[in-house]
Amino acid sequence: MADVDLSEPEKVYILHSVQENLREDGRGCEDFRHMEVETGLISNTNGSARVRLASTDVLVGIKVQLTPVDPKKPNVGRIEFFLDCSANATPAFEGRGGEGLASEITAMLTRSYSCFSAIDYTSLCLLPGQQCWLLYIDILLLECGGNLFDAVSIAVKAALFNLRIPNVTMTKDEGGIELDVSDDPFDFKRLDVSGAPVIVTVNKIGHQHVVDASEKEEACSLAKVMLGITEKGTVTAMKKEGSGSLDSESISEMIESAKNVGIELNKCLLNILKEEEAKIEEPVGFLR
Amino acid sequence: MPTDTRRITGPETSRSPYDYCQIEISKEENQNELIKSDKKRKDGRLAAQLRPIFLKANVISQARGSSYIEMGQTKVICAVYGPREVMRREDFSLKGQLTCDFKFTTFSCRQRRQHQQDNQEKDLSVQMLEALEPAVCLHKYPKSQINIYATVLQNDGSALSAAIMCASVALATAGIEMYDLVLASSLGVLNTVLLVDPTLQEEENIANETGKSPQNAGTMTLAFLPSLNQVSAMTSDGQFLFDMINKSMQQCIENCQKLYPVLQQCLVEDVKEKANLTHA
């Protein structure tokens, strides 16, 4: 992540402002920053989305591919996450610099989506025991402005909402079943994302905790808790990060606020995505 | 160990036979559930009972500190090297650096593992580091690094918590200054049943259950600093209802407190042994 050098007085200022529930940019402790979500930007993908959360910028493209099923799980499709930390975001990502962060984020995403209620994995299987869809979810970090995990997970959910999987007709042939993938762009099925989780990161700053921390606030925080939360409030993954430790009561408080924020965030996101779809507008993309 | 693929005239990829017979196994298992009618688990434990632990410090003579732990059939060996100089100049830091390397041996699981660290092992290394870092006084070791290597010799569930405790004892025997010992405990949750210190079989069964939309199905690992009463790491996999998280967390902390005397006794034994050696 981009280096933020904060002096001691600056840190104290942030710490005190969080204590007063009025953060340095005027938000309360459980408020998100301004967010822009747009789907269907890239025509070469089956589903895509871009999320801009203040100065954090994430682009997600999903491509689907037919593949033999995993013999361990013969009735379900699969998803795979790949994250590319572009050196445009920060020079520190140059070469292999972003690899550690990338594997951390993809591990957290894989874990949040590994629970079967997240998306309907059985609908991704075409022929049980033989063929299924494999979703390649490629994430590109264009700019880092704090709270990467949340922004990435929101973008992934939006892209899954936008995903159009081509319909497949199966015909019985002698010697097997023939699969025919439709090349009509309007002949597709959608994926139900109502159970898909978003990640909510709660940073501990002083005695208080905040969601959607900016880069400066992240520099003041020694420990954070990340949770994958669905619209119903179930937790699909949890992880504590950072060099500090926490007492159990403050963890309880933190996951409580993560739950409240997460449920609200899921609802808002789904509403906005539906609204966006209803309107027929030229995509704005990067020409803003 | 590098393998020369050109010399082996087999198929490019191969799969373990267990991949194909696993479906049969899991069917059989679901019939007799995780907890049998006499309230005991498959291995005869109660739901809230830990497995017996064997813990020994100083098992690798060339390492600065080391230890070996057995929790039932889970066996982990851990070595600590350092503090030693940081070689690369750009890595200079006034705070010491801690590195963790978590590795399953190729023969530790039912399926053979690769020599190279895979994604799961990398993830577990990071989780181990998260658990141990808050306990080590890194500011006492400027410009230096401390390396921890944990190797799972046999995996029968709860490998991460075993590795964390093993590493914490190894750090203590290495004489690294710490605020506290780190204890860790795992928990498997299925609906309303909490299974303490789950075996590999139980972990797998719970992972299979997630397909059938139960309320809770997952595992949680928590690391705890007992005398500071702080949680240093906490991870969960699978699906948890919200209330269950708090309940499982409390259960994990309780288990960690039960384990504290075991680690203390191991360290005392180690000191006694060293004292005997110097007298003799």
Mind listing the pLDDT tens digit for each residue in B238-268?
888 888 899 999 999 999 999 999 999 999 9
Nearest CA in chain A to B207: A115
Q: What is the pLDDT of residue B35?
A: 75
Q: Does A111 touch chain B (CB under 8 A)?
A: yes
Q: Out of A116, A234, A246, name the one closest to residue B231 (CB).
A: A246
* Residue of A224, A248, A256 to mutate, testing the B interface (most B Cβ within 10 Å of its Cβ): A248
DSSP per residue over B197-245, as a string?
S--HHHHHHHHHHGGG--S-EEEEEEEEETTTTEEEEEEEEEEE-HHHH
Q: What is the pLDDT of residue B211?
A: 57
Burial of A246 (0-12, 13-18, 19+ CB in 10 A): buried
The stretches in chain B having pLDDT less than 50 are: 31-32
Q: What is the pLDDT of residue A2?
A: 47
Contacts of A237 in chain B (CB under 8 A): 236-237
DSSP per residue over B108-129, as a string?
SSSSPPPSS--HHHHHHHHHHH
Cβ <8 Å between B249 and A252: yes
How many Cβ atoms sit within 10 Å of the Cβ of residue B76?
Answer: 28
Q: Out of A103, A223, A240, name the one closest to residue B122 (CB).
A: A103
Q: Out of B123, B133, B246, name the one closest to residue A107 (CB).
A: B123
Cβ <8 Å between A234 and B241: yes
Q: Out of A72, A237, A243, name the one closest to residue B236 (CB).
A: A237
Q: Out of B19, B133, B242, name the one closest to residue A72 (CB).
A: B19
Cβ <8 Å between A251 and B249: yes
Q: What do you get for the CA distance between the two ends of chain B, in Å?
A: 43
Cβ <8 Å between A104 and B250: no
Q: Does B228 touch chain A (CB under 8 A)?
A: yes
Peptide bond before residue B83 is cis, with ω within 30 degrees of 0: yes
A281: distance to nearest CA of chain B, Å? 38
Q: What is the pLDDT of residue B31?
A: 44
Sign of the CA dihedral running B194, B244, A212, A210: negative
| ipTM score for this prediction | 0.85
Q: What is the pLDDT of residue A223?
A: 92
Q: One digit per residue, pLDDT tens: chain A, 288 residues?
A: 446 788 899 999 999 999 988 888 888 888 899 999 999 888 899 999 999 998 899 999 999 999 998 887 888 899 999 999 888 888 888 877 788 889 889 999 999 998 888 888 888 998 888 889 999 999 999 988 889 999 999 999 999 999 999 998 888 887 788 888 888 888 888 888 888 999 999 999 988 999 999 999 999 998 999 999 999 888 999 999 988 889 889 999 999 999 999 999 999 999 999 988 887 666 666 665
A/B interface, count of CB pairs below 8 Å: 97
How many Cβ atoms sit within 10 Å of the Cβ of residue A84?
Answer: 15
* pTM of the predicted protein model: 0.89
Q: Where are the beta strands (DSSP E) in chain A?
A: 35-39, 47-53, 56-68, 78-85, 125-127, 131-143, 165-166, 168-173, 176-181, 188-189, 198-205, 208-211, 223-229, 235-241
Tell me which DSSP letter residue B43 carries: T
Burial of B100 (0-12, 13-18, 19+ CB in 10 A): buried
DSSP per residue over A172-187, as a string?
EETTEEEEEE---TT-
Q: Does B234 touch chain A (CB under 8 A)?
A: yes
Q: What is the pLDDT of residue B5?
A: 64
H-type alpha helices, A114-242: 148-162, 215-220
Cβ <8 Å between B130 and A234: no
The helix (run of H) or strand (run of E) holding residue B53 is strand B53-57
Cβ <8 Å between B249 and A259: no
Q: Does B119 touch chain A (CB under 8 A)?
A: yes
Sign of the CA dihedral running A205, A208, A211, A217: negative
What does the alpha-carbon distance between residue B140 and residue B131 come to, in Å, rounded to a whole number? Answer: 19
B156: distance to nearest CA of chain A, Å? 19
B123: distance to nearest CA of chain A, Å? 7
CA angle B191, B196, B197 (to 5 degrees): 125
Cβ <8 Å between A251 and B238: no
Q: Does B206 touch chain A (CB under 8 A)?
A: no
A196: distance to nearest CA of chain B, Å? 12
Contacts of A223 in chain B (CB under 8 A): 134
B170 contact partners, CB below 8 Å, separation of at least 6: B57, B63, B65, B66, B67, B78, B79, B80, B148
